[in-house]
Structure 1
Amino acid sequence: MTRIVFLISIAIAYATFANAQSSGLKRLNTGDESRGWEGVGRLDVAGKGFCTGALIAPDLVLTAAHCLFDRDTGERVDHEIMEFLAGWRDGRASAYRNVRRAVVHPDYLYDGTATTDRVRNDLALIELDRPIRNTQVIPFETAERPAKGDKIGVVSYALDRSEAPSLQEICHVMARQKGVLVMSCDVNFGSSGAPIFTMDGDSAKIVSVVSAKAEVKGIPVSLGTALESPLARLRAELAAGRGRFSVTGSQESRNADAIEGRAISGAKFVKP
């Protein structure tokens, strides 16, 4: 039994309570409903699809690493043909930005096998071509990963709700171990990279991003990475001048140990 299957097995015992207590998705239809969430945006990927991302600085977007790879070829997507649409809703965005640089976690390995390492390292940091200085688009702070049982929330786009963000104000951390969070949040294709927020205190802070969804014995769960160490490493990558697109350098400093992750079995694992 792999560590993620072990985590999910633990989470099943908690799932009935968590699902009963979780709120449903709410489409943010109006400017009033969207207020405060404009820093979440749709990341359009080379006209082939999209993910969700969130501002953590005027020129930095946090998302999932697998969003930067072509699903068919397995190669890195040229980030120069990607666009971040902050606060995208019904055909308009609060700000439009192209991408200057993008780094994925150095230990992330994009392949067709679901592993603990893949989820744990599924994080990317995008530097925009220009900072967003719109006073309505406020970057989010980040926080330490939540504990099991904590209430969290998610704002995301998805295949069946691509034209406006949706908010699930209450979902829960069902289990956590070794940098992987198992959550009850409702995600679907396009939700990759969506920010997971802690809702405690006066402001929402990002504690994880959506990496994948899984289903075990009919119970849907979402999976994500903790932020502390992976995000610090991504910032260091940008500070070192990395993140320029290269056809041959899909991962500029890939750690060979990343291929040693154990495959996940016993779960219907789907990349959202």
Structure 2
Amino acid sequence: MLRPTHAALVCLFLAAAGGVVAQESPLTEMQTGDDSRGWEAVGRLNFGDRGFCTGAMIAPDLVLTAGHCLFDKETGARFQPGQIRFLAGWRNGRAIAYRGVKRAIAHPEFVYGGHDDLERVPYDLALVQLDQPIRLPSVSPYRTGPMPVDGEAVGVVSYAQDRSEAPSIQKVCHVLGQQDAALILTCDVDFGSSGSPIFEISGGMARIVSVISAKAEMDGRKVSLGTSLTGPLPELLDELQREEGSRPEAVTVLSGGAPGGAKFVKP
């Protein structure tokens, strides 16, 4: 994940200052089927033997993740679709579904420079089109929602180094502020969490409102940076349509209707 420069992060924090953030919930590993119920559409994206990111399904054949995940951090080379594999609901050596990848595209304005650059966060978004849709009763793609407001409570489901074999959930973290389309969050993330879905909870249901782009630190406090979906996701879908010739499976983008997907059933 990105390590933003101190000076740039100060600017972000100045934009975020002024609100008091409520207490965050702890990060909890989901080790059992009961723990993971409703989160099966979050999975691990493996990039050959070069590492992994987190991704979440927004359609039966479409996974949302971070743009920089599509690039080898050592060489800067773009991963080819044949090198990418999606493991839906990966937990303790098994996945609910395994899929190869037909196509993977980053946002057209995303530029991978191989270095820490906060300017890339607003476009750090990618779509991975699976070679076959996942159509299982237990795997429900998520709808998406608009950018959350300052102080709003959100949640995150992620994989990361030292917890790569099961997803972890943080049910409550908060939006500290935003700059352009970049969100500053209190969510607990680490390497491997890039692309993790940030969920807004409404009526007990969850919609994806952002994806994790970077982790950072300010005055000893851990923070994370997320990419808004409000503008970049429709643009990315249009780009995929131009390449594909037709849109992939139906995607509900930034809808205001009844949200689908996972449910937070515990306080």
* TM-score normalised by L of structure 1: 0.84
Correspondence for 1:63 among 62, 65, 70:
65
Q: Distance in 1 between matches of 2:43 and 2:224?
A: 20
Match of 1:132 in 2: 134
Match of 2:11 among 6, 13, 18: 6
Which of 12, 20, 42 matches 1:40?
42
Which residue in the other structure is 2:55 paired with? 53
Alignment length, in residue pairs?
240
Aligned to 2:235: 233
Deviation at 1:48, TM superposition (A): 1.3
- Percent identical among aligned pairs is 55
Distance 2:131 2:194 in 1: 22
SS of alignment partner, residue 163 of structure 1 = strand
Matched, 1:206 2:213: no
TM-score (norm 2): 0.86
Residues 1-272 of structure 1: matches in 2 within 5 Å? 4-11=9-16, 14=19, 17-18=20-21, 21-241=23-243
For 2:209 and 2:7, locate their aligned partners in 1 and report how far apart those are by CA, in whole Å. Answer: 24
Shift of the alpha carbon at 1:200?
2.0
Q: Which runs of 4+ in 1 moved over 6 A?
A: none
Structure 2 unaligned spans of 5+: 1-5, 246-267
Q: Which amino acid aligns with 2:131?
A: D
Partner SS state of residue 72, structure 2? coil
- The CA distance in 2 between the partners of 1:169 and 1:194, in whole Å, is 13
Q: Report the secondary structure of 2:202's partner residue.
A: coil
Change (3 A) 1:77 1:157: same
**2-structure distance, mates of 1:156, 1:166:** 5
Residue identity opposite 1:173 in structure 2 = V
Q: Larger deviation: 57-66 or 106-115?
A: 106-115
Q: Find the residue that maps to 1:241 and give its secondary structure.
A: helix
Shift of 1:241: 1.4
Task: Answer whether contact 1:108 1:117 (CA < 8 A) is retained.
Answer: no
CA distance in 2 between counterparts of 1:45 and 1:112 reads: 17
| CA distances 1:51-98 after superposition (whole Å, capped 9, x unpaired) | 000000000000001100011111101121110000000001010000
> SS at the partner of 2:231?
helix
Partner SS for 1:90:
coil
Give 1:242 deviation, angstroms. Answer: 5.7
Partner deviation per Cα, 1:33-63 (whole Å, 9 max, x = no partner):
1000000000001121000000000000000
